[in-house]
Amino acid sequence: MKIAIIGAAGNIGSRILREAVSRGHEVTAVVRREGALDPEPNVEVERADARDAGEVARLADGHETVVVTVSSRKEGDAPIHQVVRAVVEGTRGAGPRVFVVGGAGSLEISPGVQLLDTLQFPEEYKAEALQAREALEILRASDVNWTYLSPAAEISPGERTGRYRAGGDRLLTDEEGNSRISMEDFAVAVIDEIEEPKYRGRRFTVAY
């Protein structure tokens, strides 16, 4: 399968890249900065501004799936909702599936109450979480073939176990109330869903 990954040099994007290549997929790694990644077998590196729908259309051509995994915490980073809007415009009618790595903030902790809207949600992540929530609404209003994956509340580098639980719009927690997933197992979930789709036109979440 040919997969384009927008944000392939990031913490999560690089792990999705590694997982995809390990399973024999061909990857176009889309980055913003020259030299962020080096080409390697089954990996072609493209530098582009993913906020440009024309650029997205060019990059998406010939790919079955376009993965969006971008962060906007640093100055100069592209806001996720702007990238998702460009990807929707650039892929409309072309056929590739749009797979967006979103945030946990829009997951519900009780009916009608999202994690983002609680007093406990960290202020430093709020702007990015609002952008990710808007990105989800852009997808829901679109006519593209999309999937949106929210991580657990805590996602960090760790072990690849190949195990996780999947859910819908509700935050997943364990018996002790913790909500976590390693970046490595999150990447497993991404490629699992790309290979065997279960959540077309839907958001889902994964956690231990």
Q: Give all domains of the chain, ordered by start, each with its CATH number.
A: 2-207 (3.40.50.720)
Cα angle 68, 73, 79 (rounded to 5 degrees) comes to 45
Express each pLDDT in 149-183 by its tens digit. Answer: 999 999 999 999 999 999 999 999 999 999 999 99
At residue 76, does pLDDT exceed 90?
Answer: no
Tell me the average pLDDT of the chain. 94
Q: What is the pLDDT of residue 78?
A: 78
At residue 3, does pLDDT exceed 60?
Answer: yes
Tell me how far apart the alpha carbons of residues 105 and 125 are, in angstroms, rounded to a whole number.
9
Q: What is the pLDDT of residue 72?
A: 67
Q: What is the pLDDT of residue 33?
A: 86
Average pLDDT of span 111-129: 92
Full DSSP string of 39-81: -BTTEEEEE--TT-HHHHHHHHTT-SEEEE-----STTPPPHH
Express each pLDDT in 192-206 by its tens digit. Answer: 999 999 999 999 999
Q: What percent of the chain has pLDDT over 90?
A: 88
CB of 153 closer than 8 Å to CB of 174: no
Q: What is the pLDDT of residue 93?
A: 78
Average pLDDT of span 28-37: 91
Under DSSP, is residue 98 helix (H, G, I), strand (E, B) or coil?
strand
Tell me how far apart the alpha carbons of residues 57 and 106 are, in angstroms, rounded to a whole number.
28
Q: What is the pLDDT of residue 101?
A: 97
Q: Sorting pLDDT into bands at 50, 70 and 90, what band is 71?
A: confident
Q: What percent of the chain has pLDDT over 70?
A: 97
At residue 75, does pLDDT exceed 70?
Answer: no
Closest CA to 181 of 148, 199, 159: 159
Average pLDDT of span 108-130: 92
